[in-house]
Structures are given as structure tokens and as C-alpha cells.
Amino acid sequence: MTNLTTLNEKYKKLHPMDRMTQLFKDFDAQKILVTSSFGVTSPMVLHLVQQAHPQHPIHFIDTAYHFDETLAYKERLAQLFGLHIVDVKPNEHKNNYSQKRELWRTNPDICCKINKVQPLQRIKGNYDIWVSGLMKSQSDHRKNLDIFQQKGNIIKFHPIIDMDEAEAFLYMQVYQIPSHPLAEQGYGSIGCRHCTKQGACRLGRWASLGKTECGLHL
Ligand code: SF4
């Protein structure tokens, strides 16, 4: 049984880059799942993974509702970092249903479940550790998270949880990583096009729907 308290104490003292390097020493790479939405601050974690374990698979949940700019950004980062991206798609029938019924308007929780949560659920069982780029500053739920966090049968690993967005942007500037094209247009956080508006941090996500998370990280 992995002792999360010991791991958190050990990793807290490390810089995010050293945390990622250490992760690939402490755990079997084949058991480490990396996901990315190719959003505003995603490149930092992608860059860290690429440094620590080049060509490690990056899973992208392709809901079919992403902005064209996000898909173009994904391709650009793939070329820049030499990423090995694996697209994870929802069940076709359910995805069509969500489109026909415009579920993002009528029941966004079910829409996220069909198009995001369930597709990831299908592959999660193959892994012990799940790497994601959550930061405490992003939401009330996230501010209580630690670097390692048990979530059901998988351990979440948040290497940049104690950074804020300004620090992530500074990192991107230092390493000359291009920003998401929509970030320059005032989008602070970017998900599916139906549920993303301009706004600081995550204010433009599911704006006016009373929803703050898609459910992947709850
Ligand atoms: S973010 Fe919106 S469009 Fe995307 S899966 Fe969730 S409800 Fe549907």
C-alpha cells in the first residue's frame, strides 16, 4: 500500500520539474496515466512530462466539442515537444445523442459524464497514477488538494498544485512555449466550445449554469 503522507512530504520539497522526474523513478512508467485538455496552462505539465519521460503517451479526451483553436494548438504542441498523443473518444451513439439533444444546455452534468467521465473511466483501470495539471488557485474544490491524492482506485498526482497561473505563464515564457490562441482573446480557461466563454481564470466555464467542474476530478 502506497503511503501518501510520506510521498507528499517528500515531493513537497521539490520543484515541479524534480517532482515529475522523481515520479518516473518511484513508479512504473507503464502505470502512469497523463491526460491533457490542451488548455491555457496545460503546456507546463506537458513540458515537464516530456523532460522526465520523452514520448510518454498523453491522453486527450476528444469530446467532439473542442474549439478548432484547441485542436490546432494540440497539433502545434505535439510537433514542438514531439508528443505521443492518444485520443480518447466517447461512445459514438451517446455522443450523437448528446449532440441531438444539445445536452450541454439541458443537462450539462450528463453531457460531461457521457463525453468526458465515461471515456476516461474505460482506460483508468490500466493505471496506478494519474497526472494532471490542477492548481489550488483554480477553484474551491482544488484548493484542498495535495500533490498526491487517492481517488477511488487511482492515485492522482498534481505536480503544479501549489503554483498559480501567473507562475505557470512565467514558466511558459521562460521556456518559450507558445500560448493557446484563445488565451490572447481573454479566455482564462478553455474546455468545450459550448460551455466556454471569455473570463478570468475559470469564470467563463459553464458560466451561469452553476457548474464549476466537469466531474473528471471530483
Ligand atoms: S463541457 Fe459542455 S459540451 Fe463538453 S462535455 Fe461537458 S457539458 Fe458537454
- The answer to whether the CB of 196 is under 6 A from ligand 1 is no
**CATH top-level class of 4-195:** alpha beta
User: How remote is the CA of residue 100 from the centroid of ligand 1, in Å?
Assistant: 13
Q: What is the dihedral of CA 17, 19, 24, 26, to 10 degrees?
A: 160
CA 21–ligand 1 middle distance (angstroms): 33
Looking at residue 215, its pLDDT comes to 65
Domain locations in the chain? 4-195
Q: How many CB atoms lie within 10 A of CB 152?
A: 9
pLDDT at 2: 76
154 contacts 129 by C-beta, under 8 angstroms: yes
Residues of the chain with pLDDT under 50: none
- Whether ligand 1 lies within 6 angstroms of the CB of 47 is answered as no
pTM: 0.92
Positions marked catalytic? 214
**Is residue 139 within 6 Å of ligand 1 at its C-beta?**
no
Which residue has its alpha carbon closest to ligand 1 atom 4?
192
Alpha carbon of 185 to ligand 1 centroid (Å): 21
Say if residue 3 is exposed, middle or buried (CB neighbours under 10 Å; 0-12, 13-18, 19+).
exposed
In short, whether 108's Cβ falls inside 6 Å of ligand 1 is: yes
Q: Is the CB of 116 under 6 A from ligand 1?
A: yes
Q: Which residues pair with 196 in a beta bridge?
A: 205
Ligand 1 center from residue 15 Cα (angstroms): 33
Q: Which residue has the cell 518516473?
A: 24
Mutate to test the pocket of ligand 1, among 102, 104, 120 (most ligand atoms within 8 A of CB): 104
Which pLDDT belongs to residue 218?
67
How far from 37 is each of 1, 3, 28, 126, 157, CA to CA, in Å?
30, 29, 24, 20, 16
Nearest CA to ligand 1 atom 6: 112
